[in-house]
């Protein structure tokens, strides 16, 4: 892969701060971008949890379609989970990988050739937060910048500057990025009212405990991210991810919403238990109940429950290998972005395993 080059920008202009070999060819790529991945340094009030700089990455494509992808990487919400030196969440902005959805040279990739905007994750707040918190740890107080919303807005501002009227936008992300994808999809729909928006949450089913919701979730101060122009979107109404999906799906009935989860996603189970939740079976019951409730409420939603215990599918080779009810995940996703009808499928539901 070509080494990324870096750009900084304001809403008024873009300025090149470091370059790499090669000249942009005359195609649909945004100006000042080389082929391959480009690092964008937005500056301003963007920041990572420990105070390191935030940046995002863009790979120009050759069609008038855009992927806005939010990276995953755990979460933190109190002194124990946010403690320095821990491994509860991704703390620095890192570049994308090369497998799965990132491989734009693979003809099996349903979004090959799309412009790809990759938003790293380094704030521990599922891309929703806007709060700087001083936690009291065993070694004394420490500060965490839950600035995911600020960072996301900077990336979306860059998209608005670069793309006048994209035909289609896929908003996706795995793990914590799955939550970023559903929260920011309506913002992109508002930003581009004529574009076809497709949202895919990968391995972020939103199974949490009441204890986490009341005691820990407020640490992120996420309310500023809510698409409050839509009916039913208020801090008091959004008591679950299910409610968020239903409100967005009803507010934008032409938006295609979707979720993926493995049948026994052990990483999601681990996070659920860290919030005080129960066993795998309890998490699975919550995941299936949420998918079913959204499915029943929205004709524009579909879910894919894949086999096994792995976490995420889009950034991995499993992007092409996962199957449920005879349907490949990549083929299922291709039908979604090509506006073909799809059904919700589940690898273990009929057999109960």
pLDDT the model gives residue 25: 39
According to DSSP, residue 212 is labeled H
User: Which band of pLDDT confidence, cut at 50, 70 and 90, is reported for residue 29?
Assistant: low
**Bridge-partner residues for 171, per DSSP?**
68, 199
Judged against a pLDDT cut of 70, whether residue 122 lies above it is answered with yes
Q: How far, in Å, CA of 256 to CA of 260, rounded? A: 14
Domains in the chain (CATH in brackets) are 40-346 (3.40.50)
Q: Average pLDDT, stretch 211-230?
A: 97
Q: Could you please report the per-residue DSSP string of 92-161?
A: S-----SSGGG-TT-TT-TTTTSEEEEE---SSSTT---EEEEEEETTEEEEEEE-HHHHHHHHHHHHHH
Q: What is the pLDDT of residue 209?
A: 97
Helices 266-274 and 280-297: crossing angle in degrees, nearest 10, is 100
Of the candidate ranges 1-15, 40-54, 304-318, the one whose mean pLDDT is the lowest: 1-15
Query: Angle at which helices 241-251 and 280-297 pack, to 10 degrees?
Result: 20
pLDDT tens for each residue of 258-284: 999 999 999 999 999 999 999 999 999
Confidence band of 18 (pLDDT split at 50, 70, 90): very low
Per residue in 175-200, pLDDT (tens digit) is 999 999 999 999 999 999 999 999 99
Q: Which two tokens stand for residue 111?
A: 């979004």
Average pLDDT rounded to a whole number, residues 133-159: 97
Q: What percent of the chain has pLDDT over 90?
A: 87
Average pLDDT over residues 93-115: 97
Residue 244 and residue 238 in contact, taking contact as beta carbons nearer than 8 Å:
yes
């Amino acid at each position: 892969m070509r080494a990324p080059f870096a750009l900084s920008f304001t809403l008024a202009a873009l300025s090149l701060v470091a370059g790499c070999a090669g000249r942009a060819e005359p195609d649909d790529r945004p100006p000042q971008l080389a082929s391959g991945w480009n690092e964008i340094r937005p500056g301003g009030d963007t920041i990572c949890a420990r105070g390191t700089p935030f940046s995002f990455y863009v790979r120009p494509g050759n069609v008038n379609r855009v992927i806005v992808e939010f990276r995953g990487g755990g979460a933190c919400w109190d002194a124990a989970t946010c403690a320095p030196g821990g491994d509860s969440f991704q703390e620095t902005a890192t570049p994308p990988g090369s497998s799965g959805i990132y491989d734009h040279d693979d003809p099996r990739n349903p979004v090959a050739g799309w412009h790809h905007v990759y938003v790293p994750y380094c704030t521990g707040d599922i891309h929703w937060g806007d709060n700087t918190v001083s936690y009291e740890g065993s070694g004394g107080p420490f500060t965490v910048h839950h600035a995911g919303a600020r960072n996301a807005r900077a990336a979306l501002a860059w998209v608005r500057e670069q793309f006048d009227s994209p035909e289609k936008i896929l908003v996706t992300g795995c793990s914590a990025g799955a939550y970023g994808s559903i929260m920011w999809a309506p913002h992109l729909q508002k930003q581009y009212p004529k574009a076809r928006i497709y949202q895919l949450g990968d391995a972020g089913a939103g199974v949490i405990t009441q204890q986490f919701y009341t005691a820990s979730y407020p640490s992120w101060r996420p309310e500023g991210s809510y698409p409050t122009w839509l009916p039913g979107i208020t801090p008091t109404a959004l008591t679950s991810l299910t409610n968020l999906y239903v409100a967005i799906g009803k507010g934008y009935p032409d938006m295609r919403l979707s979720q993926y989860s493995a049948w026994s996603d052990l990483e999601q189970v681990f996070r659920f238990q860290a919030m005080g939740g129960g066993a795998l079976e309890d998490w699975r019951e919550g995941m299936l109940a949420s998918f079913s409730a959204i499915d029943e409420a929205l004709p524009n939603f579909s879910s894919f429950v894949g086999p096994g215990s792995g976490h995420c599918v889009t950034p991995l080779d499993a992007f092409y290998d996962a199957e449920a009810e005879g349907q490949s995940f990549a083929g299922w996703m291709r039908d979604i972005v090509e506006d073909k009808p799809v059904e919700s499928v589940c690898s273990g539901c009929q057999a109960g395993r």
